[in-house]
Amino acid sequence: MDVMGDKATLFETGRFVQPSEPGDAGEVADAARMTAEQAAEEAAEEVRQRLAAEAGDIEAMSVLGALLLRRGDLDGAEPHLRAATATGDRAAANNLGVLLHQRGYAEEAAGWWRIAAVAGSAAAAHALGRHHRERGDEPAAEYWLRQSAEQGHVLGAYALADLQEHRGDSGAERWMRAAAERGHREAAYRLARALDRQAAQEESREAGGERGDGRGGDGADTSLADEAEQWHRQAAARGHRRAALHLGAILEKRGELKEAGRWYLTSAKDGEARAACALGFLLRDAGDTESAAVWWLRAAQDGDGNAANALGALHAERGEPQTAERWYRAAMDAGDVNGAYNLGLLCAEQGRTAQAEQWYRRAAYAGHREAANALAILLLRGGDTTGAEPWFSKAAEAGSVDAAFNLGILHAGRGEEPAALRWYERAAAAGHTEAALQVGIARLRDGDEPEAERHLRCAAGGGSPEAAYRLATVLDARRPPAPAHELGESVHEKSECEEWYERAASQGHRRAQVRVGMLAAARGDVVEAARWYREAAEAGSRNGAFNLGLLLAREGSEPEAAVWWTRAADAGHGRAALRLALVYARRGELAEGQSWADRAVTLGPAEVSERAARLRDALRQELSA
């Protein structure tokens, strides 16, 4: 039995949608024209406010100062803001604080913000709260941020939520939700991620037997996951690139590939390397590897190690190992340990065993469980069983199913059956087909038929022809004898054991093919029986060759039957040798008959040996007469 895992691969399958087309030139021109119109309107507004301010209008001074401040004209804005502030204008006091903060006078800025905040400015309370937090005074920060948030200031609500989340306060979600509902895209994204985590925890609790109410934080009759998706969608629609990435992943997982592709594309165009990488996988799996490579290249150049690995795999498939190696190294440089593992795979395929071991070790020491398994396989094949076992153990403990199975093989090879069975059971519990087969065989050996059947069903369902055959034999042994059929009676429906025999036979299992042939012959279906016997015989089954010979002999084709009996006897089938002895005796070829009788005596079993000995002695007497 071979160890498992030496043909491991990195990449999960993805999905693709054709990216949407960019806007046409007319749309761009309209946008530019609107910008110019807005600039002209703003210039006219500045002239009006300046004239009013020169005439002593306090509100105009405040508005003009704010306008110049937004433009970055600090020197022009300051006198207007100070003049308005002197008359008690709280908006001007807040903006003066902003101006002074930009100049680097943080304490003076905080003084003006305090004046404006006490006068009721939510924006100033937010700025003052941020000021205190930057200086580590969290109680003061929370006080002023709460003042701002309770007045409906969206930035204040977000900053308060951020502070409370940092401290682990339970009230953070309330204020994050408030900011999100007022259009703050980062708040919408963070609320979505928080709900994602809650949904994962809820799922974990339900898997452990606990029950949750499946309701969102506002008590709405929707699942946490659905609500999280809604907030991801809102943040993405407002231009949040990470929200667009997560929304694309949610939709891809659900199979809504067209929309997933659109959001990946939106995020990728905004500079999100992970979205570009995901879009590349969609394209790759749609067969458009050239476009996939473009997006992977873009992501890899932005430092995405997964994209670099994907490029390496693409070039490896194209037979360009040097380019593949360059991208795998780029993946390592980006901090992706898969790059070292992939380099190990590449070197192993090229027969560069020493280099493969080097890269596997590097990845394994970094915690890559499949690299640890691959390293153990490499050592085992080199005869270093002692060195291989710790790496198998490390990989298995980290969750490698193949490594757990391989440990079972290792212990079984030493005759340590209880230890082997423990590892087989661990791998089987994780869905490993061959491990389930081994557990099933062990349970059959122990006489625990129900457990044996359970594991054999798992293995057979996973595609193991040996498990399908063994399961069929278990079911066959329980089956009551089939009643005799009267002439004209319809043939009985196939039992479950026959279906498993046929599944194993169709997968090339020779003993199953012989058994299916026998069942067909019992039903009187000679053609079907001959087909299965021939298939088994041509694959090397001596029983298949013997039974095919019997069938042909009964149909009157003894010469052809002798051909198949010869093949079976040459493979060690005693009954076939006895049949050949009888054929040659009837033909009068006594010496040849005696030779096959001798073979039958040697091959057995006992009943055949006894009959063959009598025939041999009779032929010997005939020859000596």
Residue-range domains of the chain with CATH:
225-320 (1.25.40.10), 495-571 (1.25.40.10), 578-624 (no CATH)
Task: Measure Cα distances from 251 to 113, 140, 246, 352, 554 in Å.
Answer: 45, 43, 9, 42, 64
Cβ neighbour number for residue 59 with a 10 Å cutoff: 15
Average pLDDT, the chain: 88
Q: Which residues contact 464 (CB under 8 A, 6 or more apart)?
A: 433, 434, 436, 437
Q: What's residue 489's pLDDT? A: 43
Q: Quick check: 197 pLDDT over 50?
A: yes
pLDDT at residue 303 in the model: 95
What angle in degrees, to the nearest 10, is found between the helix axes of 369-381 and 353-365? 140
Question: What pLDDT score does 15 carry?
Answer: 29
Q: What percent of the chain has pLDDT over 90?
A: 76
| pLDDT of amino acid 464 | 96
| Rg, the chain, Cα only | 40
**How many helical (H) and strand (E) elements, i.e. helices and strands, does the chain have?**
34, 0
pTM, 2 dp = 0.72
Residue 313, CB-side half-sphere exposure with 13 Å CA sphere: 23
Rounded Cα distance between 171 and 152, Å, is 16
Which pLDDT score is estimated for 56? 86
pLDDT of res. 46: 83
**Alpha-carbon distance 96 to 199, whole Å?**
45
Q: Is 326 exposed, middle or buried (0-12, 13-18, 19+ CB in 10 A)?
A: middle
Residues 16-30 pLDDT 10s: 222 333 333 322 233
Longest alpha-carbon distance in the chain: 149
User: How deeply is 21 buried, as exposed, middle or buried, from its count of CB atoms within 10 A (0-12, 13-18, 19+)?
Assistant: exposed
With contact defined as beta carbons under 8 Å apart, do 194 and 173 qualify? yes
Q: Find the range with the poorest average confidence among 214-223, 386-395, 452-461.
A: 214-223
CB 132 within 8 Å of CB 107:
no
Q: Which residue has tokens 């890269």? A: 359
Cα angle 552, 557, 560 (rounded to 5 degrees) comes to 80
| Cα distance between residue 599 and residue 593, in whole Å | 10
Q: Which position has the higher pLDDT, 35 or 95?
A: 95
pLDDT single digits (tens) 517-572: 999 998 889 999 999 999 999 999 999 999 999 999 998 899 999 999 999 999 99
pLDDT tens, 84-100?
999 989 999 999 999 99
For the chain, the straight-line distance linking the first and the last C-alpha, in angstroms and rounded, comes to: 55
Distance CA 503, CA 514 (A): 13
pLDDT digits (tens, 9 = 90+) for 335-379: 999 999 999 999 999 999 999 999 999 999 999 999 999 999 999
Over residues 59-81, mean pLDDT: 92
- Range 193-197 average pLDDT: 93
| For residue 19, cis peptide bond before it (omega within 30 degrees of 0) | no
Band the pLDDT of 145: cuts 50, 70, 90: very high
Residue 289 per-residue DSSP state: H
CA 522 centroid distance within chain = 47
Query: How is residue 23 annotated by DSSP?
Result: P
pLDDT at 141 over 90: yes
pLDDT (tens digit per residue) in 443-493: 999 999 999 999 999 999 999 999 999 999 999 998 776 555 444 344 556
